[in-house]
Chain A
C-alpha cells in the first residue's frame, strides 16, 4: 500500500501509467538497473532463441523463410532451403519487409474518415457495426451486385474475400491483375489452355526475354535458374528498350521500340514459316488454325517488322534461325507484368504471339523448352463444418464487356467504371493499393468518391486507404497465420505462413478475423463457423498432410505429380494449341494470332514512357519501409532514365531536374542519363510518387507513372494499358 501511494504521489495529477505496486526492494537496489549491466547479463545468458518457418510477403512469390527470434524479438530472417522459390535465399525486399512489424509507419487501430476527410480512431466493434449497416443499406437498395472486392491474392485473402463477397450474393471479386499480368495470362490461356508456363532452364540452349527482367522483379529461384543456364552457356536474349539488370546474364541486348514486341515476334514467326524452320510434327498433330496463321504471317516479313519495332531485319532473321537451331531446347520466356502484362492495346495479342513462336519451335513440354506443369489444390472439405456458399445469381460486373479477361481474376477496372455509373456502390480493398497503381489515381479518386461505402484492409495508410470510409488494420506478415499455400511445378508442395513473433499492436487483426468480423456484421456469419486452423487442417488433410506437419516443417512435398517431358495436354476448347480462337472471334477480335498496333504513337518531339520494377521494392507497398526507402534515397533510384543522345540534344545533363508531361499530368524529377536506354524512350520506376501524408518517408519522393497514363482499357481484356502514353520532357532551369 505504501508503494502504491508513493506511485501516486509521484504524479501531481494522480494518474499513473504503469500498473501495479512497485517492489520497494527493487526500487532501492543499487547498481542493477543500467543498460550496461543488463547488456552484460544478456551477453552471458543465451537468450530464449526460437526458429519458426513462414512465408515472406515482400511480393506475391511468397518465398519460404526461417525467422530466428531472441526473447520474442525478430533477430534474423533467412531463405528456406526446401522452398522452391527461395531455395535458401531471400531477396533484399524480403529482408526489408521483415522490419514491417516494428515500423513506425503502420496502422495500429481501425480508422474512420470524417466528412471533412480527416481520420479518427474507431473501435473494431463500431467499425464492423457501421460497415454492416451500410452494406445492408446497399443490399436493400441496389442488390448484392452493387458490392465488390478487389484484392491482391494472398493465401488467406483470396479465400476469405471471395467467400465473403459470394456469401453476400455478389460475384464481384477481382484481383489486381488488370494492372499486372492479366493480358499475358489471358493470351497464354487462349493459346494453350493454361494461364502460364515456365522455361526449363536446366536444359535450355536459348531463351528470349520480352521485357521481363529477373534481375529487377526478383524471385530468388528464378535468378538462380537463369544464372545456372547462363553458366552452362545458354544464349540469353533480352528484348527490352532498356538494358535491364538481367543484362549480367545476357548474351544479347535487343533494344526495341516500346509496345512493338508483337512485330518482332511475328517477324520471327514469318522466318520460321517461310524458311520452313518450324516443327511440322508438332504443328500437324497438336495445333489448330495453322493454315490461317501461316497465310496471315506471310505479310509479317522481317523488313515489315523492322519498320515497326526498329529491330534490324537481319537481327530478326538471325534470332529466328538461332532459335530454330536450338529447338526444341529453347523458348520465348512467358514474362509477367513487364512489356505485355497490362501495358498496351496489343498486350493480349503479344502473349498469343509469344505462344505461337514457341509452337513453331515445337518446344512445348520439351527438355529445355516451355513447360506447362500442374498445381495441387485442396480437395473438398466437410460441407457441414465448412458450409458451401451458393453461387451468386448475377454475373460479375465487367465480364460481359471484357470476355477475354481470365475468369480467376476479372478486371478490377470494372469496379472503377461501376462506381462511375452507379452499378457498384460498396467497395472493399484487401492488400491492394488500387488507387495508386491500377489506373490513374485521379480517376480512381473521382470514382470512389461516388461510392456509398469504401473499406480498405491494409497494414499502412495507403493512397487507397486515404479515400476509404473505414480503414481496418491487418497485422503484418510475420505476426499472422494464413491458409495453406499450394505450389505447383515439376513437383508439388504446400507451405504455410505462420506467426513467428507476437502481435506488436494488439488492435491489429489477421485477415481471417477481419473477414469473419465483417461477415458477422453484414449478416452472413453463418458461412464462417470455423477457425482458420480448422479450415487449414481440413484442407491439408485432403492432400495427405496436416496442419501440425506443415507448421513444423514450413513446407511439405506432396505426392509426385509424375511430371514427364513431352507434349502437354492443351486444355483449350479444341484440346489443341490454338493459332485461332473462337472465343477471341466472339469478342469481336481477329481470331487468328496476328498484328495489333499499339494505341498511342509518340509524335515528333515526344517520347514513349516505360515503367519497371526495382529489385528492392514491390510496387508501391514497400516504399515507406525505413531500410528500403533509405536505399532508394541513397542511390537516387527515383530518377527518370533518359538516353544519352536524347539528353545531349535537349541540353540535359545527368542529375538535372526535368519536367515530365503527358496529356494527364506533369511533374518534376531528376534525370539519370544513360547509354542503357533506346533513344526516344524514357524509363520511370513504378514505385514512387506516394501522395499519402501518412507515409512520411514515401510521400513526395519521385513520380507515380500512373498519374501520366490516360484511363483507357485494353479492348475485350480490360487491362489498364499502363504504357499507352506519349510524353514530353523539358529541362527545369533553376
Chain B
C-alpha cells in the first residue's frame, strides 16, 4: 500500500508550483512508479512554465485548478437548526465547498496546517494525495480508502475541464499569440498528468479491496 500511495502522492505533487525545480518532481514521480505504471516525462521548461503560470494558478489566463470544490456541488448539508441548505449549495466552480470544509476538519484533527498559498483551496490535489500517503504510512488502509472514495473521485471532471479549456482555446483570442502553442501543450500535459494520477489512484484503491 505504501509504495502505491507514494506514487499517488508523487503524481499529486506534480500539480503544485515548482518553478525551476520541476525536473526533480518528475524524477521523483518516475522513481516512485509502481506496478508497471509509467509517470509522465517532464515537459519542456516553457510548457511547464505555462502550465504553472496560466493553468495551475488561480486567476490566471487558462486557470483550471485541480481543486475538489470546483467540481462538486458547493454545499449539500443543511444548515442545522432547522435551516435549509446553503443558498447556492448546488453551484459548482466555487472554492471552499463542503470538500474543503471537511479537509480542514481533517487537518485540524491531524494537527496539520495548510500553508497560505493553499488557504483558498485546502482540497487541492497536492494536499489530498499527501494526506492519503500519510494514512498509508500509518497503515490505515480504511482511511486511505475513504479518502480516495470521498475526495479523489472527481478527476474525470477535472480532465473534462482541461479538455474544454483546450477546445475553447482556439476560439478565444489570447493577448499574446505566441503563447498559444505553449498553452495548448501545457493543457495537453495537464491532461496527461491527470490520466496518470487517475490510473495510480485506481491501482491503489484496487489493492485496498
Decide whether A and B assemble into one complex. Answer: yes
Using known A-B contacts A28-B140, A47-B80, determine if residue A33 contacts B106 with beta carbons closer than 8 Å: yes
Q: Is the CB of B25 within 8 A of A34?
A: no
- CB within 8 Å for A12 and B28 given contacts A27-B137, A98-B88, A117-B176: yes
Checking B88, B92, B131, B173 against A691 with a beta-carbon cut-off of 8 angstroms, the contacting residue is: B173
Q: With A10-B134, A17-B127 in contact, is A466–B175 under 8 Å at CB? A: yes
Q: How far is the CB of B54 from chain A (nearest CB, A)?
A: 8
How many contacts A-B (CB < 8 Å)? 229
Contacts of A109 in B (CB 8 A): 59
Contact between A22 and B88, CB atoms less than 8 A apart? no
Q: When chains A and B are docked, how far (Å) is the Cα of A22 from the Cα of B107?
A: 9
The stretch of A68-76, A182-190, A308-316, A708-716 in contact with B is A68-76
Whole-angstrom CA separation of A524 from B6 in the bound complex:
54
* B197 proximal to A (CB < 8 A): no
Enumerate chain A residues within 8 angstroms of B28, measured Cβ to Cβ: 11-13
B59 touches A108 (CB 8 A): yes
Among residues 91 to 139 in chain B, which have CB atoms less than 8 Å away from a CB atom of chain A? 91-99, 101-102, 105-107, 109-116, 118-120, 124, 126-127, 130-131, 133-139
A504 to chain B, nearest CB (A): 5
The complex places the Cα of A694 from the Cα of B76 at a distance, in Å, of: 29
B58 neighbours in A (Cβ, 8 Å): 104, 106, 108, 505
Chain A proximity of B35: nearest CB distance (Å): 16
Is B147's CB under 8 angstroms from A461's CB? Answer: no
B13 with A15: CB separation less than 8 A? yes
Task: Please tell me if B74 contacts chain A, counting CB pairs below 8 Å.
Answer: yes
- In the complex, what distance in Å separates the CA atom of A696 from the CA atom of B93? 12
Which listed residue (A10, A34, A696, A699) contacts B133, Cβ 8 A? A10
How many chain B residues sit at the interface, stated as a range, is 35 or more
- Which residues of the other chain, B, contact A58 by a CB distance below 8 angstroms? none
The answer to whether A6 touches B138, judged by C-beta atoms less than 8 angstroms apart, is yes
Contact B94 A42 (CB under 8 A): no
| Residues 104-139 of chain A, each 1 if its beta carbon lies under 8 Å from chain B, else 0 | 111111010000111111000000000000000000
A717 and B74 alpha carbons, distance in the complex (Å)? 48
Question: Once the chains are docked, how many angstroms separate the CA of A102 from the CA of B98?
Answer: 12
Find out whether the CB atom of A108 lies under 8 angstroms from the CB atom of B88.
no
Interchain CA distance A119-B5 in the complex, whole Å:
37
Task: Say whether A29 faces chain B, with CB atoms less than 8 Å apart.
Answer: yes
Q: Are B91 and A627 in contact, with the CB atoms below 8 A?
A: yes
Interface string of A21-59 (1 = CB under 8 A from B): 111101111111111101100110111010000000000
Flag if B79 contacts A47 (CB, 8 Å): yes
Q: CA separation between A102 and B75, bound complex, in Å?
A: 12
**Given A27-B135, A29-B140, A99 and B91 contact (CB-CB distance below 8 Å):** yes
CB distance from B59 to the nearest CB of A (A): 4
- The answer to whether A700 has its CB under 8 Å from any CB of chain B is yes
Interface mask (A684-702 → B, CB under 8 Å = 1, otherwise 0): 0000000101101001100
A45 to B79, CA, bound (A): 10
* Chain B residues with CB below 8 A from A15, complex form: 13, 25
A484 interface residue per 8 A CB criterion:
no
What is the interface size of chain A, counting residues whose CB is below 8 A from a CB of the partner? 76
What chain A residues lie within 8 Å of B142 (beta carbons)?
Answer: 30-31
CB-CB < 8 A to A626: which residues of B?
91-94
Any A CB within 8 A of the CB of B203: no
Determine if A120 and B94 form an interchain contact, defined as CB atoms under 8 angstroms apart: no
Asked whether A103 is an interface residue with its Cβ less than 8 Å from the other chain, the reply is: yes
- A506 in the interface (beta carbon within 8 A): yes
Instruction: Please give, as numbers and ranges, the residues of chain B lying within 8 Å of A74 by CB-CB distance.
Output: 86
- Complex-state Cα separation, A29 to B151, whole angstroms: 18
Residues from 49 to 68 in B contacting A, C-beta threshold 8 Å: 53, 57-63, 65
Q: Say yes or no: B134 contacts A119, CB within 8 Å.
A: no
Docked-complex contact A12 and B32, CB < 8 angstroms: yes
Q: How far is the CA of A6 from the CA of B6 in the complex (A)?
A: 11
Q: Is the CB of B13 within 8 A of A13?
A: yes
Near A by CB (< 8 A), chain B positions 153-202 give 165, 168, 171-176, 178-179
CA–CA, A31 and B143, complex, Å: 7
A34 touches B146 (CB 8 A): yes
Contact status of A13 and B140, CB under 8 A, knowing A43-B80, A700-B172: no
In the complex, A569 has a CB within 8 A of chain B: no
Question: Are A33 and B143 closer than 8 Å at their CB atoms?
Answer: yes
Give chain B's interface residues, CB within 8 Å of chain A: 5-6, 9-10, 13, 16, 24-25, 27-29, 31-32, 53, 57-63, 65, 70, 74-81, 83, 86-88, 91-99, 101-102, 105-107, 109-116, 118-120, 124, 126-127, 130-131, 133-140, 142-143, 146-147, 149-151, 165, 168, 171-176, 178-179
Binding site for B on A (CB under 8 A): 6-7, 9-13, 15-24, 26-36, 38-39, 42-43, 45-47, 49, 68, 70-71, 73-77, 95, 98-99, 102-109, 111, 116-121, 461, 466, 473, 504-506, 626-627, 691, 693-694, 696, 699-700
> Top 7 closest A-B pairs, CB basis?
A12-B28, A27-B138, A10-B133, A102-B94, A13-B28, A117-B175, A19-B113
Q: List 25 A-B contacts (CB under 8 A).
A: A12-B27, A18-B131, A19-B112, A20-B113, A23-B109, A23-B110, A23-B111, A29-B140, A30-B140, A33-B135, A35-B146, A35-B150, A35-B151, A39-B77, A49-B79, A70-B86, A99-B91, A102-B97, A103-B94, A111-B59, A118-B175, A505-B58, A506-B119, A626-B92, A693-B173
